[in-house]
Structure formats: structure tokens, C-alpha cells
Structure 1
Amino acid sequence: MAKSLTQIQSQIEKLQKQVDAVRSAAIVRIRKEMAQHGLTADDLFGPASSTSTGSGRATKGKVKTKGDRPPKYADGSGNTWGGMGKRPAWIREALEAGRSLEEFLVGAAPKAAKAAKAAKPGRKPAAKKAAPAAAQKKVAAKRPARKKATDAAAASPAES
């Protein structure tokens, strides 16, 4: 025999009351234990200001977060980047403007400043010269000649 809607709803209400009773008993028991041992919520779960990972499971050791590692790159405006993941917009824009990634390395600012002072204004860095033709010929002579696919097919007898 099928239950009516009112019977199901009354059953839900009874079960909800049981849930509330079990829950409140657990809270009372936990508060009693905390008071007995002098514990606070911060002792159990850490400071309220810390962010949760959301899993609710205990972890082994300390969980590293974004703020645990120092930034690898920074600009003078307070923007920082740890060097992992997608490059932030401020780095991409600076690179497009002609700056180099090494200029933003944390702790490398003096090197970048020295390099900028050493470079003469208005002068482009010298381009690498191409290797002389004689050196290129020596390298080519040391390499074994490759057979073309058509040469290899012509050399082998055709099977019928």
C-alpha cells in the first residue's frame, strides 16, 4: 500500500527531530570535552581568518598555499608572480613593451640596473655573425649523406 504525502511529510519531520537531537547531543558532548581539556575552536581548527581547503579532511604536515612561497618576479608597483602557471597581465604587457623577464627577478634588480648602465644609449646589441662558409662545409662533410626515399625505392627490386 502506497503512503500518502502527509504520511511521508510527518515521517520526514520525525526524522528531522531525531537528527536535531543527535546533533545537539554531539555538540553538548564536544563542548564538555573542550572545557574539560581547555581547548578552543582555534586549537582544533586554526585561526578563523585562515582559509579552508574545503576538503574537510586532515592532512599530513603543512599544506603549502600560494602565500607560503616568496615571489620570484616583482615590479616596483607591488605586482608579484611566483613563476608558476600562466604569466600575469602585468608581465605580459611589460614583455610586449620590450622589457625582459630577468628585469623582474626578485633580488636581481642590481644586475638589471648594471646591465642597463653598461649598454650605450641608442646602440643595438651586436647580432651573432653567421659561421664562415668553410666551417659550414666541414660540418656538412662530417655528416653521412642521406638517401632519398625515391633513391631507396629504386635501389630495391620491386616485388610482384
Structure 2
Amino acid sequence: MDLSKMSRDELTKLRTDVDKALADFDNRRRAEARAAAEKVAREHGFALDDLTGNTDKKSGRKSPAKYRNPEDPRQTWTGRGRQPGWIKAALADGRPLSDFTI
């Protein structure tokens, strides 16, 4: 292939095709590496995600809300992380957490 005899449009298309081929190549290699790592993890009695710590964060899933503010139903809390102000205030007033369970 003689690049010096190609038109600008042909060179641009070639570059686009090369970029796509490189991306496809990287994706195939990544998939092969993941499959190999999963196989080794299984041989040792683990799932790869157990070893890498990839859980809900990787898949994009969020934890469902477990608690709802009865005074403002738009305010919810999963029960993880810091307690929101409305939970703290209610607990300080002596209300049990179970009052807010969804």
C-alpha cells in the first residue's frame, strides 16, 4: 500500500479503519485476559469479582432505599454511609429507625 498515492479522503478513511481495528484488537485482548483471569480464579475457588472487589460499583447498580422520610417521601436512605439529617434528628427525638422502613 503506497500512502503517497492515496487521496486525502482515502487516507482519512484508512485512519478511521485503523483506529477501529486497534480498538477492536484492544477489546479482544481485554476479553481474553479477563477470561484467563476468571479461569485462574475459578481454579482457586473464587470468582474474579470477589478478588478484585468489583461488585455493584462495576455494574452500575445502586443499593435500594431501605428508609423513607414520612414528612418528605422524596428523601430516602439505603442504610449505608452517613445518616442523613432527617434520620439523625428523628433518632435524637427517640424515634426508632424501624419507623422509617420502606
| Normalised TM-score (structure 2) | 0.43
| Normalised TM-score (structure 1) | 0.30
Bigger radius of gyration, 1 or 2?
1
- The one of the two structures with greater contact order (alpha-carbon pairs below 8 A, sep at least 6) is 2
